[in-house]
């Protein structure tokens, strides 16, 4: 299921995966915004405010009623980092054409109405008499964002991972927190946010992605009508087109000495997070070897070194896993544990890193990692959203690799390639979260 890629206008591209496999279809409109020189927290707040109401549907209830009328269409916001870009957008899940009731208007019309709602959310939000985003919506979303920022501290693992990433990338754009700080958010005014929205609209280049049964002509028609476009083209996008997001050049990155940061927080559990620099990112030849290294170390393989040795054999933690940020050429190890196990757990994690660098990889570990990654690639086609997220990410990075190609590249890897990766991995940042809250049993005893 390789997408058709078309350029519809200078500010709109379309990628389409035509399939009869799903009962629901997915249509997304996304934009990739460079983080450098921007305020990501403003965009994050803006997205929440925009979804509160539009010119035609002035509140969230009106939007939901319209979506319900369109056969229960679901609309959600996307907002995350890819490399040094902030990817924002709207995703619509629509009932498949073969499952619509008899007498339903033609498919293109239904999709165009969904696109029209998405266009209004982006470009025609509800405004007050002064032409500003409504104060009550802005203030309400500011409070919700601050609540979410505070709530992160109640989840030691997630908080520690965020802190480690911010420290590791402190001199890079993606080191800026996506949702900002409470002080930054509370300082935003309706005037500020309206100005930010207007500036964003002027430069917004959209990537449309569709997964479903309709053909390209129908989707192009729905986009043209829903977005109110004229003179729409359908020019093929050449394979190997350049990336549309800033990517890390790992070869030019100056690696610094390992550093350690300890922090106290009133929670009940410790967290140990290690940020590592890898020798390749998604656009590099060594990407697949790096991805496989992560699988061997601590991703989803049932016999990964971190899971088997740190958690199962030695019982040093509640969980221990690794994730590979392919767009930054970085790997994160996260371990949730009790404070008295910190030293032992860190020592064992370092031992497993050394084991991989020494080529200590059993046949069972290798085969389990291969099967795990092959299954992961195969499962990408099991849902419209997984298909869309995979291909959109590769398109933004300028790396048009299908899941089938990816699986074949993994199968062709040699031990020497993976060991060479392991030898080049370096630890950049170690973040340790120390709990200061007393457990319930301790409190009971003191009482």
- Residue 205's domain comprises 4-236
If asked whether residues 201 and 299 sit together in one domain, one would say: no
If asked whether residues 205 and 268 sit together in one domain, one would say: no
Residue 344 lies in a domain: yes
**Domain end: 176, 204, 236, which one?**
236
CATH of the domain at 195: 3.30.830.10
If asked whether residues 226 and 268 sit together in one domain, one would say: no
Residue 90 lies in a domain: yes
If asked whether residues 138 and 287 sit together in one domain, one would say: no
- How large is the angle between the packed helices 287-297 and 403-411, nearest 10 degrees? 70
Compute how many other C-beta atoms are within 10 angstroms of the C-beta atom of residue 49.
23
Residue with token string 């020494």 = 358
Residue 88 lies in a domain: yes
Query: What's the confidence (pLDDT) of residue 444?
Result: 35
Question: Which residues does 83 contact at the CB level (< 8 Å), separation at least 6?
Answer: 174, 245, 246, 247, 248, 327, 328, 397
Residue 34 lies in a domain: yes
If asked whether residues 287 and 140 sit together in one domain, one would say: no
If asked whether residues 212 and 257 sit together in one domain, one would say: no
**Domain end: 214, 236, 258, which one?**
236
- How large is the angle between the packed helices 287-297 and 415-424, nearest 10 degrees? 80
Say what the pTM is. 0.93
If asked whether residues 406 and 348 sit together in one domain, one would say: yes
Residue 178 lies in a domain: yes
If asked whether residues 343 and 215 sit together in one domain, one would say: no
Write out the chain in H/E/C secondary structure. CCCEEEEEECCEEEEEEECCCCCEEEEEEEEEEECCCCCHHHHHHHHHHHCCCECCCCCHHHHHHHHHHCCCCEEEEEEEEECCEEEEEEEEEEECHHHCCCCCCCHHHHHHHHHHHHHHHHHCECECCCCCECHHHHHHHHHHHHHHHHHHHHCHHHHHHHHHHHHHCCCCHHHCCCCCCHHHHHCCCHHHHHHHHHHHHHHCCEEEEEEECCCHHHHHHHHHHHCCCCCCCCEECCCCCCCCCCCCCHHHCCCCCCEEEEEEECCCCEEEEEEEECCCCCCCCCHHHHHHHHHHHCCCCCCCHHHHHHHHHCCCCCEEEEEEECCCCEEEEEEEECHHHHHHHHHHHHHHHHHHHCCCCCHHHHHHHHHHHHHHHHHHHHCHHHHHHHHHHHHHHCCCCCHHHHHHHHHCCCHHHHHHHHHHCEEEEEEEEEECCCCHHHHHHHC
If asked whether residues 219 and 258 sit together in one domain, one would say: no
Output the six-digit token pair for 304: 């990964």
Residue 242 lies in a domain: no
pLDDT by residue for the chain (447 residues), tens only, comes to 789 999 999 999 999 999 999 999 999 999 999 998 899 999 999 999 999 999 999 999 999 999 999 999 999 999 999 999 999 999 999 998 778 877 666 666 889 999 999 999 999 999 999 999 999 999 999 999 999 999 999 999 999 999 999 999 999 999 999 999 999 999 999 999 999 999 999 989 999 999 999 999 999 999 999 999 988 889 998 876 788 899 899 999 989 999 999 999 999 999 999 999 999 999 999 999 999 999 999 998 888 999 999 999 999 999 999 999 999 999 999 999 999 999 999 999 999 999 999 999 999 999 999 999 999 999 999 999 999 999 999 999 999 899 999 999 999 999 999 999 999 999 999 999 999 987 653 333 333
Residue 241 lies in a domain: no
If asked whether residues 225 and 274 sit together in one domain, one would say: no
**Domain end: 212, 236, 260, which one?**
236
Structural domain count, the chain:
2
Residue 243 lies in a domain: no
If asked whether residues 163 and 215 sit together in one domain, one would say: yes
- Name the residue among 372, 346, 230, 347 with its Cα closest to residue 294: 372
If asked whether residues 177 and 294 sit together in one domain, one would say: no
């Amino acid at each position: 299921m390789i997408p058709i890629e078309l350029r519809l206008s200078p500010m709109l591209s379309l990628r389409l995966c035509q399939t009869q496999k799903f009962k629901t279809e997915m249509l997304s409109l996304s934009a990739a915004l460079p983080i450098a020189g921007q305020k990501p927290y403003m965009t994050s707040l803006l997205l929440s405010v925009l979804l509160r109401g539009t010119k035609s549907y002035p509140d969230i209830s009106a939007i939901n009623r319209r979506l319900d009328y369109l056969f229960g269409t679901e609309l959600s916001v996307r907002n995350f980092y890819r490399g040094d870009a902030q990817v924002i957008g709207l995703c619509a899940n629509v009932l498949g054409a073969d499952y619509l009731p008899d007498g339903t208007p033609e498919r293109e019309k239904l999709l165009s109405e969904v696109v029209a709602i998405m266009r209004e959310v982006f470009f025609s939000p509800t405004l007050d008499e002064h032409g500003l985003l409504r104060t009550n919506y802005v203030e309400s979303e500011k409070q919700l964002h601050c609540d979410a920022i505070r709530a992160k501290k109640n989840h030691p693992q997630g908080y520690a991972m965020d802190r480690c990433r911010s420290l590791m990338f402190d001199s890079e754009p993606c080191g800026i927190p996506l949702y900002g700080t409470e002080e930054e958010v509370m300082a935003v005014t309706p005037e500020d946010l309206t100005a930010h929205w207007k500036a964003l609209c002027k430069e917004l280049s959209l990537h449309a992605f569709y997964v479903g049964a309709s053909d390209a002509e129908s989707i192009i028609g729905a986009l043209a009508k829903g977005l109110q476009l004229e003179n729409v083209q359908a020019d093929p996008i050449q394979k190997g087109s350049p990336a549309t997001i800033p990517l890390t050049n790992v070869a030019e990155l100056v690696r610094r000495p390992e550093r350690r940061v300890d922090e106290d927080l009133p929670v009940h559990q410790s967290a140990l997070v290690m940020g590592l620099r890898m020798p390749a990112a998604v656009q590099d030849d060594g990407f697949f070897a790096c991805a496989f290294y992560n699988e061997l170390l601590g991703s989803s393989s049932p016999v990964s070194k971190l899971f088997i040795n740190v958690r199962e054999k030695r019982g040093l933690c509640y969980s221990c896993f690794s994730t590979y940020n392919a767009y930054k050429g970085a790997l994160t190890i996260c371990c949730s544990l009790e404070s008295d196990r910190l030293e032992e757990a860190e020592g064992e994690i370092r031992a497993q890193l050394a084991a991989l660098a020494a080529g200590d990889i059993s046949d069972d570990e290798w085969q389990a990692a291969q099967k795990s990654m092959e299954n992961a690639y195969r499962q990408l086609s099991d849902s419209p959203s997984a298909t869309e997220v995979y291909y959109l990410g590769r398109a933004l990075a300028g790396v048009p690799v299908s899941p089938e190609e990816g699986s074949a590249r993994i199968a062709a890897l040699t031990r020497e390639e993976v060991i060479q990766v392991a030898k080049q991995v370096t630890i950049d940042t170690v973040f340790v979260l120390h709990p200061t809250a007393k457990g319930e049993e301790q409190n009971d005893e003191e009482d």
